[in-house]
Amino acid sequence: MDFGGFTTEDFNVFLIDGLEPRMEALKNTVRPKLEQLGEYSHQRYLL
């Protein structure tokens, strides 16, 4: 698994004004990491 954890940049998306820009930033920065964690959990615990 290539997950390096969450960074300050990841959390800074919550400081972005406006719902649409914030959601776009979440999709581009945080979501891929959450998907990696989900895949890891699936492989490790559900198989």
Query: Which residues have C-beta within 8 Å of that of residue 19, sequence separation ≥ 6?
Result: none
Query: Which residues have C-beta within 8 Å of that of residue 2, sequence separation ≥ 6?
Result: 36
Q: What is the pLDDT of residues 1-47, one digit of tens each?
A: 567 889 999 999 999 999 999 999 999 999 999 998 888 888 777 66
**pLDDT of amino acid 23:** 97
Please say whether the beta carbons of 6 and 33 come within 8 A: yes
User: pTM for this structure?
Assistant: 0.73
- DSSP secondary structure string for all residues of 2-36: ------HHHHHGGG-SSHHHHHHHIIIIIHHHHHH
**pLDDT of amino acid 22:** 97
